[in-house]
Structure formats: C-alpha cells, structure tokens
Amino acid sequence: MKHERVIAARLLTGTAINGVGGGLWFTIWALYLTRVVGLSAGQLGLSLAVAGVVGIVLSLPGGALADRLGARRVAVTINLVRAAAGLAFLAVDGVLALTLVAAVFNGAQVVGSGVGNALITGLFRGDERVRMLARSRAAVHAGNTVGAGLGAAVLAIDRPWAYAAAIVGNAATFVVNASLLVGVPETATSRRISRWAGLRGTAIRDRRYLAVMLPITALTACWAVQSVGIPLWVVSSTDASPAVAATTVIVSSILIAALQSAVSARVVTVRRGARAATLSGVVLAASCLAFVPAAWVGAGWAAVIVLGAGLLHVAGELLFVSGQWGVSVPLMREECRGEYQGLNATLTGAVQEFAPAVVAALVGGLGAYGWAVLAGFFVACAAPIVPLAAQAVAARDVRSADALV
C-alpha cells in the first residue's frame, strides 16, 4: 500500500506540474504567436489543424509501442520530446516552422494522453485504476487553474521577455514530470508489437469495443462547447459581459478538480459507466438548451443564465469522463492496454479536431437553432450506449470463457 501511495504521489505531482505549464501555455500561445512572432490567425489555424491530424495518426502506434517497450519508458520520452518542442516555439519565425513545431508538440500531447492512461492502468488494479485516472484529471485541472493565473500575469506584462520566460517555464514542467516518471516502475510489456504498429492490431479490430466507444467519445464535443460555443454565444448573442464566459471556464476547472474523483469513484463497472455516459448525454443536451434564454434578457439575467447552464454543462462533463473510463478500462485486453488507450486517444483527438469548427458554425451561424442541434446530437450519442455496452460485456465474457477451455 505504501509503495502504491508513493507511485501515485509521483504520478499526480508530475501531472499537476504539467497542468500548470499547460494552463500557462494555453493562456498565452495565441497572443505570443500573433503579437511577438507576427503570424496571422489563419496561419495559426492551419498549423494547429496539421498538428491535430499528426496526433490522431500516431496515437495507435504510440499505444502499441507502449505495449512493446513499456508505458513508463514511452511516457518519459514523450515528455522530453514535448520539452524540446516547447522550447522550439522560441525559434518559430514563419508558418512552416510553426507547423513543424506544433506537429511535434501537439501531436505528442495526443499520443501522450493514451500512453499516460496505459501507464496508470498498468500500475494499478481493479477499482483503483479509475480512481487514479480521475485523480490525475483533477490534478491537471488544478494545475491548469494555477497556470492560467500565471498566464494572465504574462499577458498583463505583454513583453517579449515575459512570453519567452513562460515558454521556458512550460518546457521545464515536462522535464520535471519526466524525472518523476523515471522513479515509477515499468509496466508489463508484450513480446512483439502488434500488426502495423497498432493500425491493424487487437484494439482496432475489437468491433464490440469500438462500437460502444464511438458514441461515448463523441461526447467529447462538450469540450468544444465549453471552449468555443459558450464564449461565442455570450459575445455574439447576449448582453452579458465577455468576462462571464471566462468565469464559466474558471468555475468549470475548479469544480472538475474538486469533484472528478468523487464522481468517478462511483463509476467503476461497465454497467455504471454506460449509465453515467448515457446520463451525461442527456444532461449535456439540457445544458445546451439552457443557454438559449440568455439571448432574450438583459445583461444581468443573461449572466445568471449562462453561469447556471455552465454548471449543468460541468455536471454532464463529469459524468461523461467517468463513464468513458468506466466502460473503456474494464473492457480492454490487459496485454494490449496501450493499444486500447491509444484508440481512445485517437477517437477523442478526432472529435477535438473537428468539433470546434462545427460548434462555431452551429452556435455562431444558427443561434438558438444551433443549440437545439447540439442538444439532439448529445441525445443521439447517449441513446445506444447501454445496449452496446451490454453487447461488449457479453463478448468479453465469451472470450474469457474460451480462454479457460
């Protein structure tokens, strides 16, 4: 037990430190690249789109590599790569350089999310796996909140040296995390890498698993609602201050840091995970509809409505993440943890790549009708989860029975 506590402390400390760097970087990157480097918004969008695709393509091979070499070893390498790429932003002087650096930096982030989950599920057993995943996410959000505060100070200074210091600080967090991971035991490894480095491996050919994870990971669109939909709606369609949108993000981070572990502790079986994901879709749909009346009232009431709908959205997000882990972790094959978590990272990355543009088009172009479409989307995602999860459990039980014969 003491040994596990030491491992957990190392993992959570490194994750929280990374979270500080992430919150700092997310706060300053756009202004740094436009005001200091001199790139246009269109150039940023193109470079980040390429970077997102790189992460999606490499997630499955990255997971397969973690199965073969060990998740800890791969996680350490990814942190060092991200540290070097983070520093390379200081040398960016054009769109080509930005595309290359962002492809490495952001692509490694997507791959690293799957490898990180594979590391946790390889080091812990039973219900403790989901609890550790939840504690890790809480640590990230706590760190993000601190980092965003530091980023706000950098933006207030608004000098090249301040941006440079922030970039160096962000890179340093990856080095610190890597040094902490070195002291963590290695996970069990497989004898050989799967076919096509995971692209034709066990996870991608597990049809029952893939069928249930598709609608669950589609709920990842809720993050685009938080980052794009709410700010766009507040600014373009309500009389509320733009600060209200920023407040919803801060409140969301604080609540996730405080509550994710408690919510996930109750979602440790496939059945409960499927129910949580289903309820998440319903709650997220309700939150979408709850934002609409903010356009019909004055600034004060609009702020109240947006904040209230934002709280409903946080509840849906907490349930979604808990449900995703509750279903994906028990259904994966132990010998292919990296592949399965890499597949989750691939699916999640694909949604994150395209959801912001879709949400912006719906909320910015269709207004209240766009919110209704989003609500319908979340309900449609929720509807098949429970029966698909039941089928996946039945298939898993058949495999287990066959293995015993």
Beta strands in 46-115 (DSSP E): none
Domain boundaries, the chain: 1-197, 202-405
Q: What digits encode the pLDDT tens for the residues 2-61?
A: 577 899 999 999 999 999 999 899 888 888 888 888 888 777 778 878 888 887 887 778
Residue 203 pLDDT: 81
Q: Is residue 290 a contact partner of residue 309, using CB atoms and an 8 Å limit? A: yes
* CATH architecture of structural domain 202-405: Up-down Bundle (1.20)
CA 57 to chain centre: 16
| Between 403 and 168, the higher pLDDT residue | 168
The radius of gyration computed from the CA coordinates of the chain, to the nearest angstrom, equals: 21
Cβ neighbourhood burial of 167 (10 Å; 0-12, 13-18, 19+)? buried
**What is the reported pTM?**
0.87
Q: Is residue 217 a contact partner of residue 347, using CB atoms and an 8 Å limit? A: yes
Q: What digits encode the pLDDT tens for the residues 169-208?
A: 999 999 999 999 999 998 877 656 555 454 566 788 888 9
Q: What digits encode the pLDDT tens for the residues 262-319?
A: 898 888 889 999 999 999 999 999 999 999 999 999 999 999 999 999 999 999 999 9
3-state secondary structure of 368: helix
| 341 vs 358: CA distance, rounded Å | 26
Same fold, 1-197 and 202-405: yes
Q: Is residue 233 a contact partner of residue 360, using CB atoms and an 8 Å limit? A: no
Q: What digits encode the pLDDT tens for the residues 309-350?
A: 999 999 999 999 999 999 998 998 888 888 888 888 889 988
Q: What digits encode the pLDDT tens for the residues 68-121?
A: 888 899 999 999 999 999 999 999 988 889 889 988 898 888 888 889 999 998
Cβ neighbourhood burial of 156 (10 Å; 0-12, 13-18, 19+)? exposed
Residue 373 pLDDT: 97
Residue 196 pLDDT: 45
Residue 195 pLDDT: 53
Residue 212 pLDDT: 95
Q: What digits encode the pLDDT tens for the residues 118-168?
A: 999 889 888 888 889 989 989 998 998 899 889 889 888 889 999 999 999
Q: How far is CA 71 from CA 191, 192, 204, 228, 304, in A?
A: 14, 14, 19, 33, 45
Query: Which class is domain 1-197?
Result: mainly alpha
Q: What digits encode the pLDDT tens for the residues 367-392?
A: 899 999 999 999 999 999 999 999 99
